[in-house]
Amino acid sequence: MPWSWNLHVREFCPSRDLKKYPVWFLNKSHSYPAFSPLFMWTWCFSETHGVWYGANETWWPTTRGHVMLDLDGCSLETGLRIKDEAEIEERAKRHRKFLTEEFAPKWDETWANITNELEGYYKKLRDFDYEKATPYELYNQFNDALWIVERMWKLHFYLMYGQFGAYWEFEDLCKEYVGINENDPLWHKLIRGYDNYLFVMDRAMWALRNRALELRVDETFRRYPATEVIPALKETAAGKEWVENDLNDFLTVKGYGWRQPRMMEFINPAWWEDPTPVISHLQQYLMLPGGADTIFPVDEIRPRLVEEREAAEQEVLSKAKAHGCPDMDWFTALMKLSQRTSFFSESHDWIFECQCFPSFRYCIMKIGERLVKYDTISCPDDLFFFVPDELQLFIALPENYDVRDLAEERRAMWTARKEYLSRPPFISREPMKPDETTPYILEPKDPVVCKISMGTFPKARPETGAILFGNCGNAGVAEGTVRLLIKEGDVGSVRPGEILVCPATYGSWSPIYPLLKGVVTDGGGSVSHACIVGREYDIPVVANTGTATYTLKTGDKIRIKADEGLV
């Protein structure tokens, strides 16, 4: 298979890109399976601009940001540490001032302002009159939409470098004065027990499950495939009531229909376009015990987690003080910021990616409908197989172009690139073992790379008898049957009591957590989605094994000892 689409210069070229960067890491937390070309372009350009904005507006000390390159539709990422120690020292002073004077005291205000700003942009994308617009007006709307995606990424990483930078600084203090790190069960207790926007949506979905039981239409969900449930429900009065009132309220009135099966992509229909994923999750929820008055599973767990968190706070503060932490006010401020991580990580998904990408998709699809009439393309979603420079030409001068054959060719190539087993977790200049790459992850000290996207690879310990080695995302032991999950379209195959094995989990996969006994991932750091949501459900998580999806298959029986990072 060729190395690149040959569409732009940010495609990975080994002879060029391994000169200054000795190792590149595959971002399994976000880019499996392969992105469509348009999304990949925004990832390499718009998101990278956001990274640079966030790292520098927050004065993160050790790096000005990392780089993302395209490898057959998947993202390779790496970064370099700033070489000038004087620059690092100056940035560190400014970063602390930023945290103490801007970020921490104005967190709630900043969050509200950013939320309002972004949701205003999404409304403009949805409310525009695409039918009556001239080609030039569509051209301008497309350019505005691109700007909105980049603006979203800038605000996204402004918050991320502030939030997860504080998280890392707090971990450094805890290592020195408390004797724990991010893989310690005490750390996990300290930062969990919080609600978030994704759980609010999942809880509303659980209410749909209970409503189906109340109306006694649950048997329809059990009897039919997910694609046939809604037509079958409409054949009865009670079922029709559920569809027209309850489901419509969930998708349209509450607006949760703007969620997608895959959070990081444009090409997937939103739930309001195709509610099959919602139906599939409800079928899964109906496999769990309990009647129409059963509360959402995470709500049963949280009171205990809150008690454990409050006890952990006292223990950590007491140890830090006893071991001579010189600035307990700073320590406490960083702790409070770190404790916002769970809410922020799973709530930002909704405010940023989960609403932005379906809104951008809506814009592209409506423009695509117009271009189909010019015979520029065959179907609206052909546009996802072109990059912005091309799309600007097609949109401004649609009668001048017929690219139907090219769209078909690129769609076939994209489909082929969904294959994943041939993709290594990293590509290095010289042969390396996974744990030998750790210094290259840690040296730039980039919190987005190390704490979210990649994480560090642990050293193999064959003497334990384990077949896979990872990091503890949440403590605990579990035995069960593997459910290997690579594609978002297979999420509905998960059954209660299974152990999920996947490259990583997306925010869009949060609805399946009530079913799981444990999670094992190829990639992801301690604040990746798999770890954060696993902690809130208090199930064992072994993260960043590197090769779990290459080693295990659905139906395998495994035991995970998450405290030790063993499978």
Mean pLDDT of 7-26: 84
The beta strand positions in 171-232, using DSSP E, are none
Using one digit for the tens of pLDDT, what is the confidence trace for 461-508?
Answer: 999 999 999 999 999 999 999 999 988 888 999 999 999 999 889 888
Cis peptide before 33 (omega within 30 of 0): yes
329: left (phi over 0), alpha (psi -120 to 50) or beta: alpha
Using one digit for the tens of pLDDT, what is the confidence trace for 244-280?
Answer: 999 999 999 999 999 999 889 999 999 999 999 999 9
pLDDT recorded at residue 8: 57
SS3 state at 492:
helix
Of residues 8 and 368, more confidence is placed in 368
Q: Which two tokens stand for residue 105?
A: 């005291």
Tell the residue number behind the tokens 């990746």, with chain if given. 528
pLDDT recorded at residue 335: 97
**430, HSE (Cβ side, Cα atoms, 13 Å):** 4
pLDDT recorded at residue 20: 85
Quick one: which H or E segment has residue 416? helix 404-416
Least confident of 96-100, 316-320, 431-435: 431-435
523: DSSP letter: S
Using one digit for the tens of pLDDT, what is the confidence trace for 513-548?
Answer: 999 999 999 988 899 999 999 999 999 999 999 889
Measure the CA dihedral 509/512/516/520, to 10°: -10
pLDDT recorded at residue 560: 97
SS3 sequence of 22-55: CEEEECCCCCCCCCCHHHHHHHHHHHHHHHHHHH
Gap between the Cα atoms of 566 and 520, Å rounded: 10
SS3 sequence of 453-481: HCCCCCCCCHHHCCCCECEEEECCEEEEE
CA-based R_g, the chain, Å: 24
Tell the residue number behind the tokens 């993160």, with chain if given. 60
SS3 state at 254:
coil
SS3 sequence of 65-116: CCEEEEECCEEEEECCCCCCHHHHHHHHHHHHHHHHHHHCCCHHHHHHHHHH
Quick one: which H or E segment has residue 188? helix 185-190
Gap between the Cα atoms of 397 and 410, Å rounded: 21
Using one digit for the tens of pLDDT, what is the confidence trace for 239-250?
Answer: 999 999 999 999
Q: Above 80 in pLDDT, residue 420?
A: no
Cα dist from 380 to 129, 261, 375, 408, 411, whole Å: 17, 19, 11, 12, 13
Using one digit for the tens of pLDDT, what is the confidence trace for 36-55?
Answer: 999 999 999 999 999 999 99
Instruction: Kindly indicate the confidence band of residue 416, based on its pLDDT and cuts at 50, 70 and 90.
Output: confident
SS3 state at 371:
helix
Of residues 549 and 488, more confidence is placed in 549
Spatial CA neighbour of 149 closest among 303, 72, 38: 38
Mean pLDDT of 442-459: 86
Instruction: Kindly indicate the confidence band of residue 4, based on its pLDDT and cuts at 50, 70 and 90.
Output: very low
Q: Mean pLDDT for the chain?
A: 94
Q: Above 80 in pLDDT, residue 35?
A: yes
Q: Cα–chain-centroid distance for residue 367?
A: 27
SS3 state at 402:
coil
Cα dist from 354 to 52, 170, 216, 360, 468, whole Å: 22, 29, 32, 11, 32
Residue length of the chain: 567
**62, HSE (Cβ side, Cα atoms, 13 Å):** 16
Gap between the Cα atoms of 192 and 196, Å rounded: 11
Q: Are 437 and 25 in contact (CB under 8 A)?
A: yes
Task: Compute how many other C-beta atoms are within 10 angstroms of the C-beta atom of residue 299.
Answer: 12
pLDDT recorded at residue 6: 52
pLDDT recorded at residue 72: 86
The beta strand positions in 397-461, using DSSP E, are 426-428
